[in-house]
Chains A and B, each alone.
Chain A
Amino acid sequence: MKLDSKIPAGPLADKWNNHKAKLRLVNPANRRKYHIIVVGSGLAGSAAAASFAEMGYEVSCFCYQDSPRRAHSIAAQGGINAAKNYQNDGDSVRRLFLDTIKGGDYRAREANVYRLAQVSTSIIDQCVAQGVPFAREYGGLLANRSFGGAQVSRTFYARGQTGQQLLLGAYSALSRQIGAGTVKMYTRHEMLDLVLVEGQAKGIVTRDLVTGEIKAWASDVVVLCTGGYGNVFYLSTNAQGCNVTATFRAHRRGAGFANPCYTQIHPTCIPVHGEDQSKLTLMSESLRNDGRVWVPKNSADCTKPASEIPEEARDYFLERKYPSYGNLAPRDIASRAAKEVCDEGRGVGQLVDGKRLGVYLDFSAAIKRLGESAIRERYGNLFDMYENITGENAYRQPMRIFPAVHYTMGGLWVDYNLQSNIPGLFVGGEANFSDHGANRLGASALMQGLADGYFVLPYTVTDYLAGVGLSGRPSLDRPEFKAVVKEVEDRTNWFLNNKGTRSARSYHKELGKIVWEKCGMARDKAGLEGAIRDLQALRDDFWKNIKVVGAGNQLAPELERAGRVADFLDFGIMMCLDALKREESCGGHFRTEYQDAGEAKRNDDTYAHAAVWKFMGEGKLPERHTEPLTYEEVQFTTRSYK
């Protein structure tokens, strides 16, 4: 597999500008002759589709939801980073870059991250112009807050609904183009495969979820912005429909999948309550600005109400272990610390499977200091949400939280232009691997999605189109399209006709338990090897006993679920394999064999690279390739938040 990162030469700070100046252009009169397919309508997808259409291209955009406004970017709560330095606290492009590289535990590509920090400021300008109602100060200027492990206030926010407001901004730009007829929007369409013609990505095959029609679409270029794979864990903070199918199908067609073992476990989610639970709910990390995390010092106190545990019997373990960052320690570190105290038997809350998996997030000190109304102003909607779900009032008693799968840093391998190793296949947002390394900092996902969609893909996709010229779009009559349509139809019919006994959800739950136990917050060799064996057996069983009810020509949620679970099973094996072969700890990937007294121990000599997996055939294990990460500006240091 050829992995050329295409990082431009020259000083880091000039790379993007120099590169942009060299990228080829397409004459405005010719742009309408090119057809761009964008799959996914979240921040990256909507922003890219709208921007392409504004430039004059013919765009088709696909999403599985009933409206592009529902994409899961909408659920991001906390905020979006940008190096504006409005707060005069020493922020800069360089500092945002350094924080992101360090936060990613030196496993991200330097040049991509620097570009991300550079374009971050334009994102805020763009969103404000669209009418995104960011929080403001009384003077009318934009407000900022410090967020998730940052020592400067560079996070812009719209109450606890920043993702919603940014997505609605991108959705409004996209809607304008749909209304103008320059974007054709296909909702309730799921991409089920990628079509290659002469080695280039030239179309997709979709299923219309309402009518069941399976159809091929030809284009000059395909852009995947289909999000992450967190739902491999069954329980996660992702939406129910989030899936790996689009990127995994591209992987099966030859696209390298990078670093699948890098998953982010978010520290502040509502704990699991029972067997029938379908999702975990995130409580914004911004809560850690004012909440203090603790558990009882003595496990005998764990069943007592929090109010009966005196101050001296409480262990504020983040403040104790990481005095300089305290409750704001980065996500991977805060999550692991919570797991440790629960593993010691000091967790609080309900017993689930014989364990109490929860820690307190306590606002009493902040309420005493600032007053309840100030806390209500900052987090009111989050406290309401918590009460809806748990029936508890967090103004009166501490919240209980526990880590949950939230974001996935791995994704399809892309070069500096966000192009995968398949020419003509571009990947943006969470679906690619490029910017967050082994761990993502808070408020950086929204930044990356919009950076890719508004400010990177429009330039780099144009360069690709200029290169392939006007004869690039193949006819749908070509055998390549017919062959892929047939494969998708066969698979769909197989599911509908198989006389199985087990529901897709039951397989998904079992898959989730295996990867959460063995490839979650802590991993080890024996566990991962066992998980791979278990998953292979589960996969074999799935392909015998899966039971799909419903008809192919109607909405068929069970058919959709079965297809997604099938891909998650194969993907889960690859994720565990990646975790097994990365014999170090870094960021969200913590191998218990590689640690210094509980802190992740990287091995920069051997593993300062992206691991990129190549599909080797049905039922076979994928093959590991590497892209070395060379750091020109940054020195490796051990990440310390003490």
Chain B
Amino acid sequence: MVKPSEQSSHDSERTLALRLRVWRQLRGGEGHFEEYSLAAVPVSASFLEMMDMLNEQLIREGKDTVAFDHDCREGICGMCSMTINGMPHGPIPGVTTCQLHMRNFRDGETITVEPWRARAFPVLKDLAVNRSAFDKVIQAGGFITVRTGSATEANNTLIPKPIADEAMDAAECIGCGACVASCKNGSAMLFVGAKINHLNILPQGQPERERRTLAMVKTMDDAGFGNCTNYGECQAHCPKGITLDVIAKLNRDYLRARVKEFFSSTGKARKGGE
């Protein structure tokens, strides 16, 4: 007897006919939806391979292709960014758009494809947006200062396994921006919280802990991201399973940093220019 899970390997022959409502927009222009029909999409294809098929069809018709961001197509680079039927990265939890496969859609279905919608992520063209605000947040403090060549022997720093695992859980963030796109406030707290958690719990991250937290939060606020009001959509749509507790810890660390900043102020002018 063939087990149900073993049958799916032979599903490649099955295909779908789809209607697509795709957001089209030129840089600096107004956007609109356009509708396309696409036939014979194999269910084994990924969502982006389906978009490739649409683009090849558009080329045959002499029309401009749909621009979208994508690169590794294995769920790790964080470049792909589509809101599919209203959900960033589509309906399946824990996967990026490039890892979403067409077997999750029905024959005859109408699929709506939009870019990330967020004030801090302006549209460049069609489905591609500018996420450089994330880079700016990291540039403000998402690092441990260590010059090349100045590191000590690696095993001099003992890190308990649970701490290393917790740091790794947070460090899995791929910086795709689905958290921002899913949040009605356009908040980046899950992204910032993940990086703060990764670096602030490690012993190497302690010297810059307060400085990092304050600088990253300030840059986040300046970039036009909204506030967190605990809707939790970010956690629901994060393809890497980053959880809301990183936001709680970000708030705790931010408060801690502000308090320390307040009490460390002695009234004396600081030396060293900062």
Residues of A within 8 A of B (CB): 47, 50-51, 54, 65-70, 72, 74-75, 84, 86, 122, 124-131, 133-142, 158-159, 161, 163-165, 168, 171-173, 175-176, 178-179, 185, 187, 210-211, 237, 239-241, 273-274, 276-279, 281-282, 305, 307, 349-350, 384-385, 388-393, 396-397, 400, 454-455, 458, 503, 505-506, 547, 549-551, 554-558
Contact = CB atoms under 8 A, between A and B. Distances in A.
A54 to B, nearest CB: 5
A131 B67 contact: no
Interface stretch (B71-79, B178-186, B227-235, B243-251): B71-79
Contacts of B132: 66-67, 187
Contacts of A134: 164
Which residue among A139, A142, A397, A555 has the maximum number of chain B CB atoms within 10 Å of its CB? A555
A179 B131 contact: no
B79 to A, nearest CB: 5
B161 to A, nearest CB: 5
B79 A70 contact: yes
Contact of B154 (A84, A133, A391): A84
Contacts of A391: 5, 8-9, 11, 101, 103
B256 to A, nearest CB: 19
Contact of A179 (B100, B128, B140): B140
Contacts of B148: 47, 50-51, 54, 126, 173, 454-455, 458
Which residue among A66, A74, A274, A393 has the maximum number of chain B CB atoms within 10 Å of its CB? A66
A265 to B, nearest CB: 17
Given A122-B149, A277-B45, A392-B8, A131 B64 contact: no
Contact of B45 (A161, A276, A505): A276
A69 B138 CA distance: 11
Interface string B56-95: 1011101111010111111111110000000000001011
Contacts of B33: none
B203 to A, nearest CB: 9
Contact of B135 (A124, A175, A282, A557): A175
Nearest to A505: B56
A126 to B, nearest CB: 5
B214 interface: no
Interface residues of B, number: 91
Nearest to B95: A388
A396 B239 CA distance: 24
12 contacts: A51-B148, A66-B130, A133-B198, A133-B202, A138-B161, A141-B158, A171-B138, A176-B145, A274-B12, A276-B52, A385-B75, A391-B9
B142 interface: yes
B77 A277 contact: no
Nearest to B143: A172
What 4 pairs across the A-B complex have the smallest Cβ distances? A140-B158, A179-B139, A129-B151, A172-B143
A237 B65 CA distance: 24
Contacts of B143: 130, 172-173, 175-176
Given A75-B72, A276-B52, A392-B6, A67 B134 contact: yes
Nearest to B141: A179
A168 B48 contact: no
Nearest to B139: A179
Interface stretch (B165-173, B257-265, B266-274): B165-173
